[in-house]
């Protein structure tokens, strides 16, 4: 699972409160406005923000994931480093679903 590596990144960015607040305002201004805790989509929108912030928002020479690897990569275990390198290779794109051929489907009885 990737949760331990996400926790490393979140611990790394946690002291940067002002940057997090600014990024949150920037993200929600561009994605449909502020989200509130009682909204049905609160969890998914907040997860979207953290994914964008950690993996895609470039500032000060790179994303938080890239900066973390540059600063602390030498001291990481190989598994952590591999997962974090994967975090730096995300692709924002639109995808088209064409067919369900090849997916695991239940056969009709």
On the question of pLDDT at 1 being above 90, the answer is no
Dump the DSSP string for 37-88.
Answer: TTSTTHHHHHHHHHHHHHHT--BTTB-HHHHHHHHHGGGS-HHHHHHHHHHT
pLDDT digits (tens, 9 = 90+) for 16-30: 999 999 999 999 999
Domain regions of the chain by residue span: 3-87
pLDDT digits (tens, 9 = 90+) for 50-109: 999 999 999 988 999 999 999 999 999 999 999 999 999 988 787 777 776 665 555 566
- Half-sphere exposure of residue 9: CA atoms within 13 angstroms, side-chain side: 26
């Amino acid at each position: 699972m990737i949760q331990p590596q996400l926790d490393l990144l979140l611990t790394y960015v946690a002291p940067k409160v002002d940057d997090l607040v600014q990024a949150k305002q920037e993200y929600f201004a561009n994605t449909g406005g502020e989200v509130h805790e009682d909204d049905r989509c609160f969890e998914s929108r907040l997860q979207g923000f953290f994914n964008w912030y950690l993996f895609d928002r470039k500032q000060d020479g790179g994303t938080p994931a890239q900066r973390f690897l540059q600063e602390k990569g030498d001291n990481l275990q190989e598994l952590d480093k591999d997962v974090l390198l994967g975090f730096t290779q995300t692709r924002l794109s639109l995808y088209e679903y064409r067919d369900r051929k090849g997916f695991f489907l239940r056969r009709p009885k």
